[in-house]
Amino acid sequence: MTTETTALVPAGVAREDAIVKTVLDGLTSENSRRAYERALVDFLAWYAEKGKPGLSKATVQAYKVKLQSDGLAPSTINQRLAAVKKLAAEAADNGLLTETQANGIGRVHGVKTAGVRSGAWLSKEQAQRLLNLPDTDTLKGLRDRGILAVMLGCGLRRSEVAALTYAHLTQRDGRWVIVDLVGKGNRVRTVPVPAWAKAAVDDWTAAASAALGSLLPRDTDRLFRSIRRGDHLDGASMTDQAIADVVRTYGAALGVKLAAHDLRRTFAKLAHRADGRLDQIQLTLGHASIRTTERYLGVSQNLADAPGNHIGLRLETE
């Protein structure tokens, strides 16, 4: 019972569902739940192929070697190992694995990544072209342009775009903002909305309100809605995957392989290059620390052109 993964399965419960459930119940983020579920399903399939040798440090190390031989990126391997380690920890907490065994699995090292991945982002010219791609003679085009605008102009994650409601948009200090936005780690922030992005959202909401007729949207309604074939507005709100699909579709039309997070990175890069203050970019993105924003932007210390050079003080000479 102490080493067999099948010992994690309560009687009368489907094997994979029960094993995966022990891990997923402890996660609050929907994105993490999906990623961990995929990771554990893959691990259990491999584990079964190997004849269920027992959940041990040696087994997990062998799985790590397998992932590396598959040519997976270090970040992908480390995420999958994290899911397996959490499985071992949950098993130990429920008396299905000894603490010694769980600790051994926890000591399986991840794969080191050399340097910092810069990711992908668009140039200012590409971002402008992307924003102009949707057909604004259609309801779908107006919606899609509004989505791209808040991603490029506000640096929102796809899940945050999907969760936006009419009540999120309000005025503070004489400008439009997205207020009380709950982001990663349940951190709450207020995000300034540039005038051009607000105009794109207004064009969409005006068209959506006209399509709804007397059923005007309430403050609690989601800002972006599904659209059926024939350009008919659907009452259903969009999922974060649907937001990602919008970005990918227009990226393909632009000739670029584009993920939703690339637009968040584009916002940060363009804002920084336009002399946006690092602390303000941090607050807009909702990063926990300025160091996270620096890594995100790939900012490095410039010793030749240091800030002290520009202070303007001098020594008086006799």
Please give the share of the chain, as a percent, with pLDDT higher than 90.
40
The model's pLDDT over 286-295, given as tens digits with 9 standing for 90+, comes to 888 888 788 7
Separation of CA 270 from chain center: 19
Assign 116 a pLDDT band (cuts: 50, 70, 90): very low
User: What distance in Å separates the CA atoms of residue 147 and residue 165, rounded to the nearest whole number?
Assistant: 13
What letter would DSSP give residue 227?
E
The predicted model scores a pTM of: 0.63
Q: Which amino acid is at 129?
A: R
Confidence of residue 163 (pLDDT cuts 50, 70, 90): very high
Quickly name the fold that domain 124-297 has: hpI Integrase; Chain A (1.10.443)
Q: What is the DSSP letter of 238?
A: P
92 within 8 A of 110, measured Cβ to Cβ: no
Q: Domain limits of the chain?
A: 5-106, 124-297
First-to-last C-alpha distance (Å) of the chain: 86
Token duo for residue 29: 């983020």
The predicted model gives 57-76 an average pLDDT of: 89
Residue 292 to residues 1, 278, 296, Cα–Cα distance (Å): 43, 11, 6
Partner residues linked to 237 by β-bridges? 225
pLDDT higher than threshold 80 for residue 253: yes
Q: What is the CATH number of domain 5-106?
A: 1.10.150.130
Res. 118: pLDDT tops 70: no
Place of tokens 């001098």: 314
Strand pairing partners for 118? none
Rg (CA), the chain: 24
Which residues, other chains included, contact 308 with Cβ-Cβ below 8 Å and sequence gap of 6+? none
Averaged over 189-205, what is the pLDDT? 93
- Position 26 scores a pLDDT of 75
Largest CA distance in the chain: 92
Question: How confident is residue 142, by pLDDT bands cut at 50, 70 and 90?
Answer: very high
Mean pLDDT over each residue of the chain, to the nearest integer: 83
Smallest Cα–Cα separation from 144: which of 284, 270, 248, 266?
248
Q: What is the pLDDT of residue 11?
A: 38
Question: Which residue matches tokens 């062998």?
Answer: 62
Q: 60-69, 192-201, 300-309: lowest mean pLDDT where?
A: 300-309
Tokens 């080493």 -> residue: 3
Closest CA to 263 of 187, 161, 170, 137: 161
